[in-house]
Amino acid sequence: MTEFPPIRAPAVAGLFYEADASRLQRQVADLMEGVTPLSKPVPRALIVPHAGYVYSGQTAAAAYACLAPIRDSVRRVLLFGPAHRVYLEGMALPAADSFATPLGDVPIDRAGAARIARMSGVCISDEAHRQEHSLEVQLPFLQSVLGEFSLVPVVVGRCAADTVAAAIDTLWDEPGTLLIVSTDLSHFHSYEEARRIDRATCDQLMARSTGLDGERACGAYALNGLMHSARRRSLQVELLDLCNSGDTAGDRERVVGYGSFLLH
């Protein structure tokens, strides 16, 4: 049996974002400074992309800028994102005690994680987290825009919307808790086709649809769970920013879509 260390080491530092702490701080600061401050409702949740910062960092920053008013009140982040590197039925929490980035270690809220871990369809798997970037790339932003916080990181595989919603609802309403769902949008279409598909996906999300599939968003299972819960809470979904890799750092032949959203 493979032994895993108590600290989950960064898997994509130096690939998706800067590996040097000072350069990473500057990278995140530059992205945040590129966001025009707007008056927004207090967020209950955010939907944020997870590509390399050169591709989707500005779109992610548009979401993280919304946290300024609650910077000092967020004490725990529930972070749900798709499984890219392992096949997963259900959801997976890590056994690790913390997640490391070049900016430091983020402690896992073991008590909160244990409550989700007891639910049907949830397992403990460090392997599901070991190389997964969808959660990791959110952490330097969170470390930069929040004070001290703990983390409940959940990798979501094939899973029914109501099952994901039940995991979300276990902790979401508790004071000081912020929910983030990590997803990119369409993959590998032409620029104009991606724009058409992603605009339709935005419309589905703003209508709180629970019918997304992996062709529209790699985080579809997590998003469907979020929308299931958001419907019951009568939350509004607001588009903050939408682009694709053809707008940022890639060619326009095969692009990946990125959107950020605020739930309030």
Architecture of domain 7-263: 3-Layer(aba) Sandwich (3.40)
pLDDT tens, position by position, 125-152: 999 999 999 999 999 999 999 999 999 9
Q: Would you write out the chain's pLDDT as a tens digit for each of its 264 residues?
A: 455 679 999 999 999 999 999 999 999 999 999 998 788 899 999 999 999 999 999 999 999 999 999 999 999 999 999 999 999 999 999 999 999 999 999 999 999 999 999 999 999 999 999 999 999 999 999 999 999 999 999 999 999 999 999 999 999 999 999 999 999 999 999 999 999 999 999 999 999 999 999 999 999 999 999 999 999 999 999 999 999 999 999 899 999 999 999 999
Report pLDDT digits (tens) over 243-262.
999 999 989 999 999 999 99
Q: Do residues 243 and 258 touch, judged by C-beta distance below 8 A? A: yes
Pair 56, 21: CB distance under 8 Å = no
A 10 A CB-CB count for 69 gives 12
The confidence score (pLDDT) of residue 250 equals: 85
Q: What pLDDT is stored for residue 4 in this prediction?
A: 60
Q: Give CA–CA dist 204/213, Å, rounded.
A: 11
* C-alpha to C-alpha distance for 13 and 85, rounded to whole angstroms: 16
CB 124 within 8 A of CB 79: no
The predicted model scores a pTM of 0.96
Tokens of 165: 């919603």
Domain ranges of the chain: 7-263
pLDDT of the residue at 3: 55
Greatest Cα pair distance, the chain, in angstroms, is 51
H or E element: which one contains 11?
Answer: none
Q: What is the pLDDT of residue 63?
A: 98
Query: CA of 196: how far to CAs of 61, 201, 247, in Å?
Result: 23, 9, 14
DSSP labels, 35-92: SPP---PPPSEEEE--S-HHHHHHHHHHHHGGGGGGTTT--EEEEEEE-SSS--BSEE
**For strand 122-124 and strand 255-263, is the pairing parallel, antiparallel, or unpaired?**
unpaired
Q: Give the pLDDT of residue 1.
A: 42
